[in-house]
Amino acid sequence: MYNFTPISALTGGIIIGCAVVLYFYTTGRLAGISGIFANTFTSKVNRSSNILFLLGLVLGPLGYFYFSKTHVNFEITNSYFLIIIAGFLVGFGTRMGGGCTSGHGICGISRISVRSIIATVTFIFTGMLTVFILQQYGIYL
C-alpha cells in the first residue's frame, strides 16, 4: 500500500475523537465542522463559540508546529478553477446534505445514525469516482 501511515492516522483520529467528546460533553453540541463554519456566517446563535472553535482549528496546528519544530506537507492542485469549483461544491453539498466528514463521518456514524452512514458511503463513493475520472484525464496519478 502506498504512503500508508496507520500509526499517525490512528493517533490523530483518537485525538480528534477526544475533541468531539469534550465539545459534546461541555456544550451539548456535535462537532460537525461544516455546520460550525456555516453557522459562524449565517447565524447569531453561539456565534462567538463557533468562531473560537474555528480559531482553535488554526491555533492547534500552529502550536503543534511551534512546539514540535516540525512541519507537514501540503500538496494540492495548482488549478484555481478546480479549487473554486471544489470549494463551492463542498460548501453547497455539506449544507444540503447536513454534514461533512466530521458531522456525518465521525459524529453520525458513532451515534449509529442511518442517515449519516448513508451520507458517508455516498460522499466517499462520489469522491472515489471523481478521483477515478480525474485520473483518466491525467490530473491525478
Partner 1 sequence: MSEKIFSLLSGIIFGVGLVLSGMTNPEKVIGFLSITHNWDASLIFVMGGAIIVTAPFFYILRNRNRSSLGFDIKLPKKIDLDKKLIIGSSLFGIGWGLVGLCPGPAVSSIALLEPITLIFLLAMLVGILTSKYI
Q: Using CB under 8 A, which residues numbered 78 to 117 contact partner 1? A: 78, 80, 82-98, 100-102, 104-115
Query: In angstroms, what is the minimal distance from the CB of 13 to partner 1?
Result: 2
Distances from the Cα of 105 to the Cαs of 39, 45, 49, 98, in angstroms? 19, 24, 22, 11
Q: Whole-number minimum distance, CB 26 to partner 1, in Å?
A: 4
- What is the grid cell recorded at 65? 508546529
- Please give the DSSP secondary-structure letter assigned to residue 28: S
Q: How far is the CB of 69 from partner 1 (least distance, A)?
A: 14
In the chain, the largest separation of any two C-alpha atoms, in whole Å, equals 48
Query: How many residues at the interface with partner 1, by CB under 8 A?
Result: 111
Of 43, 44, 69, 118, the residue at the interface with partner 1 (CB under 8 A) is: 118
Residues 4-63 that bind partner 1 (CB under 8 A): 4-6, 8-31, 33-34, 37-38, 41-42, 48-50, 52-63
C-alpha cell at 140: 491525478
Q: Would you count residue 69 as binding partner 1 (CB under 8 A)? A: no
Q: What is the dihedral of CA 17, 20, 21, 22, to 10 degrees?
A: 120
